[in-house]
């Protein structure tokens, strides 16, 4: 049997074992329910907070139009309605059919609310009241308010922007953080699955039977490949449904080309990052013989993965063009989390992506060689923990 076919048989066994487990199916279903529920909640909140219903009665009806325009300038939508009398309006507010009732003269308005008033609506009303008071004073002084407003409208500061603001920055940031968190979570979850699988086979002596027919490097490669494919299937399913739910609920409205590019790079970095970390974790796990000792060799590797995640959600979230983030995104081990985030933010240059991939592949080849040696020298040794220097010796 060729080495490639041997590796594929081991990988297929791992895929079938992982995908058919109850825990894999339940975790996938739970994550999907959470994602869809979150998207539905955001859509519901967006629908509920889309506009504020304000009723006007008496002389206050004259300020309905100015209030709508002022609130719109402040980023709030106000739906106005004429109420026959104050008693009816207060009843509608108490029943929750109105968010507020405006009464009184235009220059002395009163706002009736059920609880705390909406800050944006209150600010808009304050501005309308000030404007009405100013118009009254101008009229008393013999000036035409419309002429004064026309002069004031033409007085403004001329702003020249060297770097135009990105109107989609918040959505890009959301996609970047989401991709970073998803990569971080899956790299840890399936990387630890590889480490636990190595120790389980070593403890049960199954590895001794397997190594009687295949080479250690082939067993290691097949195990990492199989668990990686199982992780990729769950990653694509969850990421794709989450992305579709976000777009369907209106939370995400980025161009399809930007989303496609981010998705492709995220998949590339999931594969490269997983095989890089899984190789290291499998080699580390082969040094111990008990599940109780596994955490001592896995924790240092996981801590390395924590660093780019923290840099991504703190440094890149505040400053996408951070030099620290750009430098660390080229470092193998950090790039699987940071480079997809920089790509989603639109700050990664094409040459940076290519260089980071080449460096990651080179690092993976080196780690495959070293990890294979450690695995081959340590996986059959039981009892006390194998020292790393002993496992690295040539046989």
pLDDT digits (tens, 9 = 90+) for 282-294: 888 888 888 888 8
Residue 269 in this model has a pLDDT that exceeds 70: yes
pLDDT of residue 362: 94
98-102, long-range: CB within 8 Å, 24+ apart, which pairs?
98/53, 98/54, 98/55, 99/52, 99/53, 99/54, 100/52, 100/53, 100/54, 100/55, 101/54, 101/55, 101/56, 101/57, 102/54, 102/55, 102/56, 102/57, 102/60, 102/63, 102/64, 102/67
Residue 267 in this model has a pLDDT that exceeds 70: yes
Residue 185 in this model has a pLDDT that exceeds 90: no
DSSP 8-class letter at 102: E
pLDDT of residue 261: 74
Residue 183 in this model has a pLDDT that exceeds 80: yes
Q: How confident is the model at residue 167 (pLDDT cuts 50, 70, 90)?
A: low
Q: How confident is the model at residue 191 (pLDDT cuts 50, 70, 90)?
A: confident
- CA dihedral (192, 193, 194, 198) in degrees, to 10, reads 100
Q: What is the mean pLDDT of residues 92-112?
A: 85
Residue 301 in this model has a pLDDT that exceeds 80: yes
**Residue 371 near residue 195, CB atoms below 8 Å:** no
Find the distance separating the first CA and the last CA of the chain, reported in whole Å: 24
Q: What is the mean pLDDT of residues 123-151?
A: 78
Q: Among 47-51, 149-153, 318-322, whose mean pLDDT is lowest?
A: 47-51
Q: What is the mean pLDDT of residues 183-200?
A: 85
pTM of the model: 0.67
Kindly report, residue by residue over 197-255, the tens digit of the pLDDT.
888 888 877 877 877 788 888 888 888 888 888 888 888 887 777 777 667 666 666 66
pLDDT of residue 357: 92
pLDDT of residue 143: 76
Residue 46 in this model has a pLDDT that exceeds 60: no
pLDDT of residue 45: 57
Q: What is the mean pLDDT of residues 157-161?
A: 72
pLDDT of residue 327: 92
Q: What percent of the chain has pLDDT over 90?
A: 6
Q: How confident is the model at residue 369 (pLDDT cuts 50, 70, 90)?
A: confident
Residue 133 in this model has a pLDDT that exceeds 60: yes
**Residue 340 near residue 179, CB atoms below 8 Å:** yes
**Residue 89 near residue 112, CB atoms below 8 Å:** yes
pLDDT of residue 163: 63
Residue 153 in this model has a pLDDT that exceeds 70: no
pLDDT of residue 358: 94
């Amino acid at each position: 049997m060729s080495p490639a076919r041997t590796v594929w048989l081991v990988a297929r066994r791992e895929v079938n074992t992982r995908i058919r487990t109850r825990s894999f199916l339940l975790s996938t279903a739970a994550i999907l329910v959470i994602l869809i529920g979150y998207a539905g909640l955001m859509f519901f909140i967006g629908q509920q907070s889309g506009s504020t219903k304000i009723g006007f009665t008496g002389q206050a009806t004259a300020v309905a139009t100015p209030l709508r325009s002022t609130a719109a300038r402040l980023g709030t939508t106000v739906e106005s309605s004429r109420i026959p009398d104050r008693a009816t309006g207060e009843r509608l507010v108490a029943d929750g059919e109105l968010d507020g009732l405006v009464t009184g003269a235009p220059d002395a308005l009163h706002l009736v609310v059920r609880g705390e008033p909406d800050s944006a609506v209150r600010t808009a009303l304050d501005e309308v009241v000030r404007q009405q008071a100013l118009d009254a004073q101008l009229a008393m002084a013999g000036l035409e308010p419309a002429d004064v407003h026309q002069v004031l409208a033409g007085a403004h500061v001329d702003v020249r922007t060297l770097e135009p603001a990105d109107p989609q920055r918040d959505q890009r940031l959301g996609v970047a953080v989401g991709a970073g968190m998803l990569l971080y979570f899956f790299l840890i979850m399936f990387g630890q699955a590889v480490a636990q699988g190595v120790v389980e086979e070593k403890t049960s002596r199954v590895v001794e039977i397997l190594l009687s027919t295949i080479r250690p490097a082939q067993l290691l490669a097949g195990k990492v490949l199989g668990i990686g494919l199982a992780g990729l299937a769950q990653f694509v399913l969850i990421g794709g449904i989450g992305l579709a739910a976000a777009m369907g609920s209106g939370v995400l409205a980025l161009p399809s080309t930007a989303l496609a590019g981010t998705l492709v790079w995220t998949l590339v970095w999931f594969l490269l990052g997983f095989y890089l970390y899984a190789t290291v974790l499998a080699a580390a796990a082969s040094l111990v013989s008990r599940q109780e000792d596994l955490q001592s060799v896995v924790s240092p590797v996981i801590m390395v993965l924590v660093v780019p995640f923290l840099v991504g959600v703190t440094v890149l979230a505040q400053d996408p063009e951070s030099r620290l983030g750009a430098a660390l995104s080229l470092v193998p081990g950090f790039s699987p989390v940071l480079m997809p985030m920089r790509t989603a933010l639109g700050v990664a240059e094409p040459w940076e992506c290519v260089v980071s991939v080449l460096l990651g592949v080179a690092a993976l080849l080196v780690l495959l060689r070293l990890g294979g040696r450690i695995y081959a020298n340590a996986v059959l040794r039981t009892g006390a923990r194998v020292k790393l220097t002993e496992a690295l010796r040539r046989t």
